[in-house]
Amino acid sequence: MRDMDIKEGRFEILKDSLTREYSNWELASPHGQVGHYLDWLNAPERNFIAPELAAELSSVTLEGVRLFQKQMLGQVFIEVYVHGNMYKEDALKATDVVESILKLRVLPKA
């Protein structure tokens, strides 16, 4: 994700595919829609239904997605939970691998 190059042609294909999927969503069978509506009814501030997503999709641009990609990793918090047969040193090494791949910077202490 950190070094991923978002190609313009591929972006347009995926955006068009999502647009068609959202516009055809209401044609789906009711038992396929009920789960989405239940999530939306239980927490409308966190969940969105296809018509709401379709309305916002038109404003999504390639430049906006690229900017989000750069800013996203600047706000990452990593917390690792290890369960099972693993030594403390191995768990710390696994955490170091993730940090080295993402090349995260340490935030100042509050």
- Which single residue is written with the structure tokens 């070094």? 3
Domain borders along the chain are 1-60, 74-105
Residue 49's pLDDT is 86
Split the chain (110 residues) into runs of 10 and give each run's mean pLDDT: 86 96 88 84 87 92 92 79 91 89 72
Give the model's pLDDT for residue 61.
96
For residues 7-21, one letter each, b for 16 or more C-beta atoms within 10 angstroms of the residue's C-beta and e for the rest, the string is: eeeeeeeebeeeeee
**25 residue type, one letter:** W
pLDDT value, residue 91: 92
Would you state the pLDDT for residue 107?
67
The DSSP symbol for 3 reads: T
* Prediction pTM value: 0.66
